Chains A and B, each alone.
Chain A
């Protein structure tokens, strides 16, 4: 059975409710109700149909609203005649096909003969409780009346449905009366005030109603997140990737793997990383801001969570040679580190231009025993380093494992990397419970290049609709400047490095070179999970310019005594841009420390 949530009013609330993935959202265009809708509808998933509810309105008014709000359906709640319905259905003034729902109010009894005239002029009926108001009265009618329903037209069941009716609904579903029941319509029983829905009660209702029906934000069995992901790889890579696909979940589930992974995270990486309440930052922005201190990990960023996981995976698959790509050198260092730890040969591909820009990290990798190979092709930066690493793997298919550094690449990489990074949100859950008495913050925030620290920060909150997800991309010199890395805005669906995702490219499908002051965010694509979160509206994507990020980095240094990586500074910069409520708990992934960026900060601020 489908679900309609009616009487939506507030932008923020609409987004939160939309994240629960109901099938319909209702907007009431009737001035006499406190739920009268008079603002804008934010961007929501295309899978959710927008219903305009009208009470004896003029055709012209209805048409205007359909076109203005791109409504998918119209619900007529007054005494609209069959003729009125047929005119509305056939008018050419409407820019898009609409579904027509005619409402009938039921009290002690109902004369179903009324329906006859409407059989051919509407798509659905809706049965509501008859009361003082046209809808929103807050109590149910006797659903057993529907045993006498003579039609085969699908109908919506409405009127005072709340969490208390779950058992009644289940009984109804099991009875003959529900044979043509198409959807449940809810409204006032889920409100804290008229038009403002309580998402946690609504979520509980949805879970109970469907024995847990939720949108899946995890990878499916074919390697896709919605329409994104997959494995678009040349046949030469198939055996390597297939070997990994068949084994990664099995290996990760082995108790001795788990044990070794956990042990290394604890003793070698230094986990759990603290969840730090940033008091002065919170005071300044009037919200409760927590920082998840991934910058305190060994090697200075979240990257090592993944390389520890993958090196253990590689060993269990019998690989003796490790390759990796790196942009700024952070993933390269993290990979060289674990290779030294395990005594495995390590080759890191790095764009020739990046090698020149990131000399300290090149030196680190070399000290750790890795061979750094310059990528000389194309634009000689991260994307070309990735190409070279993939070519190396093609040429060395048997003994080599490729440690991809972000939640990108062909399936199973995005999922595997996400699972290794998921330790971040796992810790946030118990740490927040200790400090705030609850596991779920109001928001989790992370910067996104390919998106591995973000994937880990979101992972355990993906299916918690009351947790807002904020993804921060690098706008570079500005979205429209031509020098940007804001993939969710500038990218189109395409294929890069083996997966289908959002991708910055020319009209002709050539991959373009992104720009950001932060070397870790200038990737032309974004992990397929994030593309899905963007497309479905589950995550809110923001973009932050170089200058705003740099200022935020300096601000955190001065307010909290923490110098963040420039990547991380992007996530921190949202506090100037987005308003939070004073009691909102906002957890930001402090993904890396700023040591590597000192030269950049010095030059930028003339320190």
Chain B
């Protein structure tokens, strides 16, 4: 069974962390992954940086720009990850925009992911219908779970469609926003979380965008299986370096 599905079966709320590969330094990738696992993080999204990340706010865009300047590429990332499964057991997801994958070759990319022990992909600008028609069989051939996003504006009908195509979890974007622009959840979001929870979807939901501390993590996981933290972690690394990851994770958990 795919590590993501295994993890989702565990009887706990999941903490998932996103970081930008190649940031702050090109060689930080594996040590960040190892540190996150050591400190009890349940799942990791490894951000493959892109020059034009449409769905991201300034924090992740800036970290991506720096990572690219540092020399991060698809090939470099794959090289860095070549022995990752010797030391890391939690699910690993690559999150990135479609064009770098398209240039690498979608099938070659998926094949490489399988070889490295990557469990899934999140590609914000690959729409579910294009995935369904053109790429689903390739992802499945290489045992990869593709994770789709839904937002407060996504219709119930489309959520059902996305649920039917998904085979891991659904990434619930907490509000109409890019990453890193929210602080705290209001009534509107709570209503949305409740609405989705009541839909009894086949796939568990993990909430992302706007989770930055223990309070928002607790709020989100009241309604969902887990929560993803991205911008807040990238900011932490920017401000405090990569040696205090334990402090960041502890603050979220307590």
User: Do A509 and B124 touch across chains, with their CB atoms under 8 A apart?
Assistant: no
User: Do A511 and B125 touch across chains, with their CB atoms under 8 A apart?
Assistant: no
User: Is A249 interfacial (CB 8 A cutoff)?
Assistant: no
A223 CB to closest chain B CB (Å) equals 11
User: Is B93 interfacial (CB 8 A cutoff)?
Assistant: no
Within A209-252, the residues touching B (CB, 8 Å) are 230-236, 238-239
Could you say which interface size class chain B belongs to? 35 or more
User: Do A238 and B99 touch across chains, with their CB atoms under 8 A apart?
Assistant: no
Within B50-74, the residues touching A (CB, 8 Å) are 50-55, 57-58, 61-62, 65, 68, 73-74
B185 CB to closest chain A CB (Å) equals 16
User: Do A231 and B176 touch across chains, with their CB atoms under 8 A apart?
Assistant: no
User: Do B127 and A508 touch across chains, with their CB atoms under 8 A apart?
Assistant: no
B187 CB to closest chain A CB (Å) equals 17
Among B58, B61, B173, B181, the most chain A Cβ lie within 10 Å of the Cβ of B61
Within A489-524, the residues touching B (CB, 8 Å) are 492-498, 503, 505, 507-512
Q: A234-B149, A508-B75 are in contact. Are A387 and B54 (CB under 8 A)?
A: yes
B184 CB to closest chain A CB (Å) equals 16
Q: How far is the CA of A394 from the CA of B98 in the complex (A)?
A: 18
- A387-431: CB near B (< 8 Å → 1, else 0) gives 100110011111000000000000000000000000000000000
User: Is B104 interfacial (CB 8 A cutoff)?
Assistant: yes
User: Do B51 and A378 touch across chains, with their CB atoms under 8 A apart?
Assistant: yes
Q: A387-B52, A509-B104 are in contact. Are A239 and B99 (CB under 8 A)?
A: no
User: Is B153 interfacial (CB 8 A cutoff)?
Assistant: yes
User: Do A508 and B103 touch across chains, with their CB atoms under 8 A apart?
Assistant: yes
User: Is B193 interfacial (CB 8 A cutoff)?
Assistant: no
B32 CB to closest chain A CB (Å) equals 21
**Which residue from chain A places its CB closest to the CB of B50 in the assembled complex?**
A510
User: Do B99 and A494 touch across chains, with their CB atoms under 8 A apart?
Assistant: yes
User: Is B246 interfacial (CB 8 A cutoff)?
Assistant: no
User: Do A233 and B99 touch across chains, with their CB atoms under 8 A apart?
Assistant: no
Q: How far is the CA of A316 from the CA of B189 in the complex (A)?
A: 29
* A570: chain B residues within 8 A (beta carbon): none
User: Do A235 and B124 touch across chains, with their CB atoms under 8 A apart?
Assistant: yes
**Which residue from chain B places its CB closest to the CB of A394 in the assembled complex?**
B178
User: Do A508 and B151 touch across chains, with their CB atoms under 8 A apart?
Assistant: no
User: Do B99 and A236 touch across chains, with their CB atoms under 8 A apart?
Assistant: no
User: Do B65 and A378 touch across chains, with their CB atoms under 8 A apart?
Assistant: yes
Q: How far is the CA of A233 from the CA of B54 in the complex (A)?
A: 9
* B52: chain A residues within 8 A (beta carbon): 378, 383-384, 387, 496-497, 511
User: Is B254 interfacial (CB 8 A cutoff)?
Assistant: no
Within A348-402, the residues touching B (CB, 8 Å) are 376-378, 383-384, 387, 390-391, 394-398
A353 CB to closest chain B CB (Å) equals 15
Q: How far is the CA of A277 from the CA of B125 in the complex (A)?
A: 47
Q: A235-B151, A394-B178 are in contact. Are A378 and B124 (CB under 8 A)?
A: no
* B58: chain A residues within 8 A (beta carbon): 376-377
Q: How far is the CA of A511 from the CA of B65 in the complex (A)?
A: 12
**Which residue from chain A places its CB closest to the CB of B73 in the assembled complex?**
A508
* A376: chain B residues within 8 A (beta carbon): 58
Instruction: Say which residue of A233, A235, A395, A398 sits within 8 Å of B150 (CB atoms).
Output: A235
Instruction: Say which residue of A239, A394, A509 sits within 8 Å of B74 (CB atoms).
Output: A509
B47 CB to closest chain A CB (Å) equals 14
B58 CB to closest chain A CB (Å) equals 7
Q: A231-B127, A377-B65, A511-B51 are in contact. Are A238 and B176 (CB under 8 A)?
A: no
Q: How far is the CA of A376 from the CA of B75 in the complex (A)?
A: 29
* A238: chain B residues within 8 A (beta carbon): 127, 153-154, 158
Among B50, B51, B61, B75, the most chain A Cβ lie within 10 Å of the Cβ of B51
* A390: chain B residues within 8 A (beta carbon): 54
* B97: chain A residues within 8 A (beta carbon): 495
User: Is B135 interfacial (CB 8 A cutoff)?
Assistant: no
User: Do A394 and B55 touch across chains, with their CB atoms under 8 A apart?
Assistant: yes
User: Do B51 and A236 touch across chains, with their CB atoms under 8 A apart?
Assistant: no
User: Is B169 interfacial (CB 8 A cutoff)?
Assistant: no
* B151: chain A residues within 8 A (beta carbon): 235-236, 239, 397
Q: How far is the CA of A395 from the CA of B173 in the complex (A)?
A: 12
* A391: chain B residues within 8 A (beta carbon): 54-55, 57, 178
- B74-96: CB near A (< 8 Å → 1, else 0) gives 11000000000000000000000
A377 CB to closest chain B CB (Å) equals 5
**Which residue from chain A places its CB closest to the CB of B162 in the assembled complex?**
A235
User: Do A510 and B176 touch across chains, with their CB atoms under 8 A apart?
Assistant: no
* A494: chain B residues within 8 A (beta carbon): 99, 102-103
User: Is B100 interfacial (CB 8 A cutoff)?
Assistant: yes
* B148: chain A residues within 8 A (beta carbon): 235
Q: A235-B149, A236-B149, A510-B100 are in contact. Are A395 and B65 (CB under 8 A)?
A: no
* B75: chain A residues within 8 A (beta carbon): 508
User: Is B199 interfacial (CB 8 A cutoff)?
Assistant: no
User: Do A397 and B153 touch across chains, with their CB atoms under 8 A apart?
Assistant: yes
* A498: chain B residues within 8 A (beta carbon): 54, 125
* B108: chain A residues within 8 A (beta carbon): none
* A232: chain B residues within 8 A (beta carbon): 98, 125-127, 130
* A235: chain B residues within 8 A (beta carbon): 124, 127-128, 148-151, 154, 173
User: Do B74 and A508 touch across chains, with their CB atoms under 8 A apart?
Assistant: yes
User: Do A509 and B154 touch across chains, with their CB atoms under 8 A apart?
Assistant: no
Q: How far is the CA of A395 from the CA of B127 in the complex (A)?
A: 19
User: Is B116 interfacial (CB 8 A cutoff)?
Assistant: no
* B197: chain A residues within 8 A (beta carbon): none
User: Do B62 and A509 touch across chains, with their CB atoms under 8 A apart?
Assistant: no
User: Do B181 and A495 touch across chains, with their CB atoms under 8 A apart?
Assistant: no
B188 CB to closest chain A CB (Å) equals 12
8 sample A-B contacts, Cβ–Cβ < 8 Å, listed by A number: A236-B153, A238-B127, A398-B176, A494-B102, A498-B125, A508-B100, A511-B52, A512-B51
Chain B residues within CB distance 8 Å of chain A: 50-55, 57-58, 61-62, 65, 68, 73-75, 97-104, 124-128, 130, 148-151, 153-155, 158, 173, 176-178, 181
18 other A-B residue contacts (CB within 8 Å) besides A235-B154, A239-B154, A511-B52 = A232-B130, A233-B127, A236-B151, A236-B178, A239-B153, A239-B155, A378-B65, A387-B52, A394-B54, A395-B178, A395-B181, A396-B176, A397-B151, A495-B99, A509-B50, A509-B101, A509-B102, A510-B50
Q: Top 10 A-B pairs ranked by shortest CB distance?
A: A509-B103, A509-B100, A234-B55, A235-B149, A510-B51, A234-B124, A239-B153, A508-B73, A509-B99, A495-B99
